[in-house]
Structure 1
Amino acid sequence: MSAPSSPETDRQDLPAESDGFVRGLSQAIGGPLGDHAVRPGARPGRFWNAQRIILALTCLMLAFSWVQKSPCQDGDWQKNIQYTRFCYTDVLALYYAEGLNEGKVPYKDHPVEYPVVTGYFMGALGLPVHALGQKYPEINQGKWFYNANALVLSVLAVATVAMILALRRRRPWDAAIFALSPILLVTATVNWDFLAIALAIFGLYAWARRWPVLAGILLGLGGAAKLWPLFILGPLVVLALRSKRLPPALLTAASAVVTVVAVNLPIALMYRDSWLRFFHLNDERAIDWGTFWYIGRYLDTKWNTGAVGDQGPFQWLSDHIPVLNNLTYGLTILACAAIGVLCLLAPRRPRLAQVAFLVVAVFLIFSKVWSQQYVLWLLPLIVLARPRWGAIIAWTVAEIGYFTAFYAELLGAGTKPVIPEGTFVLASSLRLITVAVLCGLVIREIWRPELDPVRRTYADDPDGGVFDGAPDAGWVSSLRQRLWLEPRPSEPVSLPEHAPPPPPSTPAPVG
């Protein structure tokens, strides 16, 4: 095995040298580069360096994604074409469902089921398209709206890759995991998730550059588009406690809170009922397809456990949504508390991306809703947290398997089933299991930091900002010693002031 790159050099990491899975695949083309080979980007004036190659691959994958969704662009969804061609997109469906095709202003004229930044975004593109359609009735407004959204979301996806490259200057090929992912191909424009994803990754970059206020503003905007970017604030505060860098983290958290309030307040004051629609919908939603709770309910029905009266526990929960809500919140909080304990007791302070991935992943694992496009939330975070191709490819296969089964389930809803229900539950279980395995692998590398591939290239945490290179607070070592997680320092034995010297030891016999 090749020696890892020294953290003290600027030499780029090459996956064929550092990643066992890629090294094995490289044998098909002659193995890793030799010591005397010209490495990518090493030749002066070379245009196609690693960064430009990855950005080009991202654009190519997004172009393929546009082609994959093209059968649905005209909105003529006859004979369930949106399911048989796997091209369904909320972007087009909600142009009509949210009244944008009639010129309705989000929240003012129609309650929107999304947080306000997403609603603003929908209106910013939808209302001009409607006005254009009024002027030129011959155009297909839905198609224009989808293509405008696809263009902007694709730009945000490319910007996300650019930020990953900026965070991993010595490991540019990590971003290829994102650029080449089939997940990007099939879900990039299913919904407006790239709006929140880009803002969250921009926020991580601002934190890495030690701009705490800007980081908070970006994370706040992301949280006002989709809730999950705000979850990154928790890891920031916990890692700040461990590294004695609490003021910048609190400044970021305060900036995020002020931003969320600032963008929500006008809508909350002027159109309170419309603003509350998002919260009411989340409270009232039943168990969604493919979630942990859906799998449990299927097993209840299959095995007829009868644990609560004549119902199984999951079936009972599906009939008592307020209890289910509290249980999902409680399990998520307990899991996040366990992650916090891990952060404080690990032999070395975890990297920010590792903890952020764990927090978002456990939220999805215990959530009652896990829409098909939510997988995009995890993709950039796992690239930053654990850039190992093998496990990510296994997870991707499970996600694509679920994607296929999900569309078969949609196609069979209300008609003759396309696949057995057990097949869909199996696909859902494999997705859940592979996400849990990724969490386990990240936890393993937190507890054994010598296995962390990023720390083989960087001395500490390239995303850490003020955490990078910071020593632990003194109480961390004391706490670990009390819990016997590290050896106590040996204390010298002091003799009384006039104590006689110890007797000489008897020499051992020879022979």
Structure 2
Amino acid sequence: MSDVREHVVSPAREDGFVRGLSEAIGGPRGEHAVPETPSRGGRFWTAARIVLALTCLMLALHWVQKSPCRDGAWADYKQYTHFCYTDVLALYYAEHLNEGAVPYVDFPVEYPVLTGAFMGALGLPVHALGEKNPAINQAQLFYDANAFVLGLFALATVAMIISMRRRRPWDAALFALSPVLLVTATVNWDLLAIVLATAGLWLWGRRYPVAAGVLLGLGMAAKLWPGFLFLPILILGLRSRKYAPMLTSIAAGAAAWLAVNVPVMLINFDNWRRFLDLNSERIIDWGTSWYVARHFDPFGLQLWNDVPTVTNLSLGVFALCCVGLVILGLRVKTPPRLAQLAFLVVALFLITNKVWSQQFTLWLLPLLVLARPKWGAFLAWQLAEICYFVAFYGELMGASGKSVFPEGVFVFASLLRLGTVIALVVLVIRDILRPEQDAVRQAYPEVGDPDGGPFSHLLPSGPLPVHKTDGPLLDGNGPSTEFTPDRPAAVSSV
């Protein structure tokens, strides 16, 4: 017989926003209904299968949304008027994959090595097939192949989120039904880094620090940001004084990154460093905090045009945020969860960085689901992102010579997006300071952090208060019990 804490959390009972919406269909599930457990739901449609099916539906709708651009015939700004621009198609030509160029060997690539290798692994066979069959639209086939593989990465990410939240599988629906996923899933290759980073967290939670480090290191070889997730591991390692898993994970990550990058450095160092050069040379990008600050600058400072200065300031502000995060993680009474710190470090990077491409928002999706699975704030953020998405395409039209709306509209959309992400940061910090409001911690009171791996039993110095709700936290079984460090609650196997 399973313990009460192995029952699946009902969002309609635990989340006030969902509970309000559920009144339209009769309210939350009744107290006497048969409780769902991680291994038992309906005859076939368990929570996990429903969420995975919803992910497939959202990815299919995304493919339809991008379909006007699939043929690569982008006349009359079709890629902007149909909101279907994607780097995947544009860079098939820009990176000379259509000519059979091998990334980094024959031509520099503007992305880290693993992303360039992924582009070549799909692009070169498409080019070879097109050479033999001239009737094939190579760009369209390249996009479809990428959309299929990236879709598999998205499904794998959702599956790992469900596995990490066996008592809260419905949390993964935040990812599956995300409007951001709908409009940006294949704008670039970010889902490659996302699946690697999520796999790293998944392995860490299962106490495989070396494997977790390898996956995070590979994620950093695809995009830079998965490397930031070593900071939460460092913070919790210092706090727990469990240095072995922390150090072995970081060392494994560094080794994995070097194993991927060093061969390319030796083949063509200048082509390898193109990614670093491009990021140091880029001016303030659309929609960033720096872009907004420049818009409201009443003095017309020349600072905004000084690329090295802005780059150094951006890195300096982010470094200060990381210092603040370390202080928070080490000094707060109840140890933060790994996912909370992971979300904060990536969100702070986006807030302070001089570049915030539209697909970067995907980075936050799995981290927010794991850090704070609350529908109200999540949907407010998603609404802001969609407003920004629409405004951004209007800005692209304006940059192309066809003005759609005044600049102030885009700045307002940028502020709205920036404000909601800052609000999420504040809410996650509040959950750290007031752990009784942390929904995930309430569902896993006996371990403190279900993703903590070697640090999962970092418990507070006193009993964790139980969050009071209007109804039972878990379906039909009452609220979870509080725990103390010297007597953690036991969980029976299902």
Q: TM-score, normalization: structure 2?
A: 0.91
- 8 Å CA contact 2:126–2:141 kept in 1: the answer is yes
Deviations 1:229-258 (A, max 9, x none): 000001101111111222101100000001
What is residue 465 of structure 1 aligned with on the other side? 453
Q: Is the 8 A contact 1:113 1:277 kept in 2?
A: yes
Answering whether residue 197 of structure 2 is matched by residue 200 of structure 1, we say: yes
Q: Secondary structure at the match of 2:203?
A: helix
Shift, 1:34, TM fit = 0.7
Matches within 5 A, 1:384-399: 384-399=370-385
What do residues 397-428 of structure 1 show as CA deviations (whole Å, max 9, x unaligned)?
Answer: 00000000000110121413101100000000
Q: Which has the higher contact order (CA 8 A, sep 6+)?
A: 2
Instruction: Tell me the amino acid that sits aligned with residue 17 of structure 2.
Output: F
Residue 344 of structure 1, CA deviation:
1.1
1:136 counterpart (114, 133, 136): 133
**Residue of structure 2 aligned with 1:405, choices 363, 383, 391:** 391
Query: Does the C-alpha gap of structure 1 residues 252 and 393 become closer, same or farther in structure 2, counting only changes over 3 Å?
Result: same
Structure 1 residue ranges, 4+ long, deviating more than 3 angstroms after superposition: 38-45, 470-473
Does the C-alpha gap of structure 1 residues 152 and 379 become closer, same or farther in structure 2, counting only changes over 3 Å?
Answer: same
Percent sequence identity over aligned pairs: 61
Aligned counterpart, 1:437: 423
2:23 to 15, 20, 27: 27
AA matched with 1:461? D
User: What is aligned with 1:58?
Assistant: 55
1:453 aligned residue: 439
Equivalences for 1:411-430 in 2 at 5 Å? Answer: 411-430=397-416
Correspondent of 1:37 among 30, 33, 38? 33
SS where residue 349 of structure 2 aligns? Answer: helix
Q: Which amino acid aligns with 2:30?
A: G
**Partner of 1:336 in structure 2?**
322
Where does residue 497 of structure 1 map in the other structure? none
Q: Cα gap change, 1:45/1:366 in structure 2, threshold over 3 Å: closer, same or farther?
A: closer
Instruction: Give the deviation of 1:44 after TM superposition.
Output: 7.2
User: Which ranges of structure 1 fall in alignment gaps of 5 or more residues?
Assistant: 1-5, 474-511
TM-score for both structures, normalised by structure 1? 0.88
CA distance in 2, matches of 1:11, 1:414: 55
Is residue 287 from structure 1 mapped to residue 284 from structure 2 by the alignment? yes
| Counterpart Cα distance in 1 of 2:81 and 2:115 | 28
Does the CA-based 8 Å contact 2:5-2:167 persist in structure 1? no
Name the count of aligned residue pairs.
457
C-alpha deviation, 1:40, in angstroms:
4.9
Q: Distance in 2 between matches of 1:360 and 1:43?
A: 35
| Per-residue deviation, residues 59-99 of structure 1 (Å, max 9, x unmatched) | 01000000110000000001111111111000000000000
1:161 matched to 2:158: yes
* Shift in alpha-carbon separation, 1:153–1:43, aligned structure 2, 3 A: closer
- Counterpart of 2:242 in structure 1 is 245
Q: Which amino acid aligns with 1:447?
A: L
2:3 matches 1:13: no
Residues 101 and 457 of structure 1: CA distance in aligned 2, closer, same or farther (over 3 Å): same
User: Structure 2 residue aligned with 1:278, among 266, 275, 279?
Assistant: 275
Residue 261 of structure 1 is matched in structure 2 by: 258
Q: CA RMSD in A?
A: 1.4
Equivalent in the alignment of 1:500 = none
- Partner-residue secondary structure (3-state), 2:248: helix
Which amino acid in 1 is paired with 2:8?
Answer: Q
Contact 1:114/1:278 (8 A) holds in 2: yes
How do 1:342-353 residues align onto structure 2 when only pairs under 5 Å count? 342-353=328-339
**Letter aligned with residue 468 of structure 1:** S
- 170-179 or 463-472, which moves further after superposition? 463-472
**What do residues 258-316 of structure 1 show as CA deviations (whole Å, max 9, x unaligned)?**
1111100011111011001100000000000000010011112xxxx22xxxx33xxx2
Between the aligned partners of 2:451 and 2:3, the Cα distance in structure 1 is 15
CA positional deviation for 1:472: 7.1
Determine the C-alpha separation between the residues in 1 that align with 2:40 and 2:213.
39
Deviations 1:478-501 (CA, angstroms, capped at 9, x unpaired):
xxxxxxxxxxxxxxxxxxxxxxxx
1:221 corresponds to 2:218: yes
Tell me, yes or no, if structure 1 residue 357 matches structure 2 residue 343.
Answer: yes
> Take 2:275 and 2:4, find their aligned partners in 1: how far apart are those partners?
49
Please, which moves more after superposition, 92-101 or 33-42? 33-42
Alignment CA distance shift 1:44-1:81 (3 Å) = closer
Residues 43/453 of structure 1: CA separation in 2 closer, same or farther (3 Å cut) = closer
Q: Is the 8 A contact 2:104 2:272 kept in 1?
A: yes
Work out whether residues 62 and 185 of structure 2, in 8 Å CA contact, stay in contact via their aligned partners in 1: yes
Q: Shift of residue 388 of structure 1? A: 0.2
Taking the aligned partners of 1:368 and 1:44, their CA distance within structure 2 comes to 46
